[in-house]
């Protein structure tokens, strides 16, 4: 059967493949289906571009993944497909469909919604359609019949080692890797145990209750075999583990650190960690294995907002200590931050800047808070009348949260100068490059120019002028500056 997958990605940065679609494609191809992809990450977003690709596929099933930021655009794509193919079945999955299935399913051109992980449920949907069966009882799948919603319960969450390797070949994976300066992404776990109030993982954990272990790991051997395959088939310089929290299990970290240099070789890697979910010993092991950088969330410098509003459960001292441990281990650090949070004041944002000065991260990123459906902070914003009518389409230039004290324009100015304020006294060249960079990230032409510079080795030029603060190694944040 001919199946069309759609990735309606419109955010400016970062540019990542959809691992949900890659996982679904791998399962569908195992069953013998012909799978095509429409990917709007790098352009081709006009109605004419979309329909040209649809016509080439002539789909018998259309599957789309939607996040909150691209929900409106994704629904538009289904609308124009249905104008020419009125009877082709459609199913929506992804983060937004999982946490807001009723809203998604009530869109006029959505027939089914996949709630949760789609690898196995969409395989069952494809089998049903291929056999011309009429069912409404597939686990994880919500149906719409005569205008009424028919929900189904969750199946048991799968063992990750029993699933096929994600189908990176579905995408132009080399283009994604080149955009990141030679960094290839891998996901080795699913699920996050922490209850942060701004993140949909909390809602997903509720949805999956009773369906088995929420946090699951690929075995180290399976993970390394996947990485070895990437190294052999693509031009890469570094691996990025895009797990929510790579450092959860110290025993797994130890095994990984011992095997990675043997199996993969001298390919450095970056991980996502959490300051209260990693030990000094683990960081030392990772540093010896080739870890170039660890990304960790600071999010807010005010302890009350960080721990009572965001429910991060971490002290300033823990944050400062863990960033120090990473530097002891020879690992570069990247600090994630948010501004424009509920109840946050201008003074609180300054506290976040001050805390970042204390930890002195090698890289710093800051986004403007967005309230995602399914999260406690979304419910709070809705109750207080702080929600905009439309979903935002950017993590950095827009938000659906109407801050009662700080305008969006002021938040954008604060975001643009955030890195400059952190580095201006200790790393002045770095600070000014960051300031200029932030001013132009809103323009797609500049983002393409950034990517071209990194591929051409522009960071090497900066490295000659400032060896301490600009690193001659591949990073996803272009020019060796803060991430967008």
441-450, Cβ contacts within 8 angstroms, sequence gap of 24 or more: 441/12, 441/13, 441/396, 441/484, 442/12, 442/396, 442/397, 444/12, 447/12, 447/13, 450/478, 450/479
| Fold of the CATH domain 2-150 | Rossmann fold (3.40.50)
Q: What percent of the chain has pLDDT over 90?
A: 83
**Domain coordinates of the chain in residue numbers?**
2-150, 172-480
pLDDT of amino acid 484: 26
Confidence check: pLDDT of 21 > 70? yes
pLDDT digits (tens, 9 = 90+) for 350-375: 999 999 999 999 999 999 999 999 99
pLDDT of amino acid 235: 96
The answer for 146, left when phi > 0, alpha when psi is -120 to 50, beta otherwise, is left
Confidence check: pLDDT of 469 > 60? no
pLDDT of amino acid 463: 47
pLDDT digits (tens, 9 = 90+) for 37-87: 999 999 989 999 999 999 999 999 999 999 999 999 999 999 999 999 999
pLDDT digits (tens, 9 = 90+) for 180-237: 999 999 999 999 999 999 999 999 999 999 999 999 999 999 999 999 999 999 999 9
Q: How far is it between the farthest Cα atoms of the chain?
A: 67
- Average pLDDT for the chain: 91
Neighbours of 36 (CB within 10 A): 17
Give bridge partners of residue 34 from the DSSP assignment.
Answer: 2
Q: What is the pTM of this model?
A: 0.90
**Token representation of residue 99:** 């946490």
Chain centre to alpha carbon of residue 353: 24
Element (H, E) at 315: none
Confidence check: pLDDT of 475 > 50? no
- Closest Cα partner for 140 from 173, 94, 83? 94
Task: Give yes or no for a cis peptide into 14 (omega within 30° of 0).
Answer: yes
pLDDT of amino acid 442: 63
Confidence check: pLDDT of 252 > 50? yes
Confidence check: pLDDT of 416 > 60? yes
pLDDT digits (tens, 9 = 90+) for 289-327: 999 999 999 999 999 999 999 999 999 999 999 999 999
How far apart, in Å, do the first and last CA atoms of the chain sit? 40
Q: What percent of the chain has pLDDT over 70?
A: 91
Taking residues 265-280, what's their average pLDDT? 97
Taking residues 377-388, what's their average pLDDT? 97
Burial 46-83 (b: 16+ CB within 10 A, else e): eeeebbebbeebebbbbbbbbbbbbbebbbbbbeebbe
Residue 68: partners with Cβ closer than 8 Å, 6 or more residues away: 95, 96, 370, 372, 373, 391, 392
| Fold of the CATH domain 172-480 | pyruvate-formate lyase- activating enzyme (3.80.30)
Confidence check: pLDDT of 479 > 50? no
Taking residues 323-333, what's their average pLDDT? 98
CA 484, CA 334: separation in Å to the nearest integer?
12
**Token representation of residue 410:** 């002021």
Confidence check: pLDDT of 393 > 90? no
Between the alpha carbon of residue 40 and those of residues 8, 179, 399, 419, the distances in Å are: 5, 15, 21, 30
Q: Do residues 114 and 151 touch, judged by C-beta distance below 8 A?
A: no
pLDDT of amino acid 476: 33
């Amino acid at each position: 059967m001919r199946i069309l997958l759609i990735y309606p990605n419109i955010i400016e940065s970062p540019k990542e493949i959809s691992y949900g679609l890659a996982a679904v494609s791998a399962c569908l191809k195992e069953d013998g289906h012909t799978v095509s992809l429409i990917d709007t990450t790098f352009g081709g977003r006009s109605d004419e571009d979309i329909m040209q690709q649809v016509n080439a596929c002539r789909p018998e099933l259309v599957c789309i993944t939607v996040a909150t930021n691209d929900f409106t655009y994704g629904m538009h794509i289904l609308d124009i497909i249905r104008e020419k193919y009125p009877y082709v079945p459609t199913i929506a999955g992804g983060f937004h469909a999982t946490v807001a299935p009723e809203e998604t399913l009530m869109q006029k051109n959505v027939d089914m919604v996949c709630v949760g992980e789609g690898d196995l449920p969409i395989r069952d949907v494809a089998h049903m359609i291929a056999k011309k069966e009429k069912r409404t009882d597939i686990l994880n799948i919500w149906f719409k019949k005569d205008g009424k919603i028919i929900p189904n319960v969750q199946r048991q969450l799968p063992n990750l080692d029993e699933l096929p390797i994600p189908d990176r070949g579905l995408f132009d994976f080399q283009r994604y890797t080149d955009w990141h300066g030679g960094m290839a992404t891998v996901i080795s776990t699913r699920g996050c145990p922490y209850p942060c109030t701004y993140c949909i993982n909390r809602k997903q954990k509720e949805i999956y209750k009773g369906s088995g272990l929420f946090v699951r790991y690929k075995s180290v051997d399976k993970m390394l075999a996947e990485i070895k395959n990437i190294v052999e088939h693509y031009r890469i310089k570094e691996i990025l583990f895009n797990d929510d929290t790579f450092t959860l299990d110290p025993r797994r970290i130890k095994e990984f650190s011992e095997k990675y240099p043997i199996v993969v070789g001298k390919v450095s890697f970056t991980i996502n960690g959490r300051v209260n979910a990693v030990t000094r010993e683990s960081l030392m092991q990772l540093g010896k294995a080739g870890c170039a950088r660890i990304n960790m969330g600071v999010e807010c410098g005010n302890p009350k907002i960080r721990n009572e509003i965001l429910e991060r459960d971490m002290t300033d001292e823990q944050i400062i200590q863990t960033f120090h441990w990473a530097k002891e281990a020879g690992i570069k650090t990247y600090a994630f931050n948010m501004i424009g949070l509920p109840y946050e004041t201008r003074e609180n944002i300054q506290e976040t800047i001050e805390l970042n000065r204390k930890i002195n991260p090698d890289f710093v990123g800051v986004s403007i808070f967005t309230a995602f459906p399914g999260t406690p902070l979304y419910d709070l914003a809705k109750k207080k009348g702080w929600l905009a009518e439309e979903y935002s389409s950017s993590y950095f230039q827009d938000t659906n949260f109407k801050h009662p004290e700080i305008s969006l324009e002021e938040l954008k100015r604060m975001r643009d100068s955030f890195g400059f304020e952190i580095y201006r006294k200790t790393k002045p060249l770095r600070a000014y490059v960051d300031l200029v960079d932030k001013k132009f990230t809103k323009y797609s032409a500049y983002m393409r120019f950034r990517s071209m510079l990194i591929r051409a080795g522009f960071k090497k030029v900066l490295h000659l002028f400032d060896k301490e603060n600009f690193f001659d190694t591949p990073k996803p944040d272009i020019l060796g500056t803060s991430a967008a």
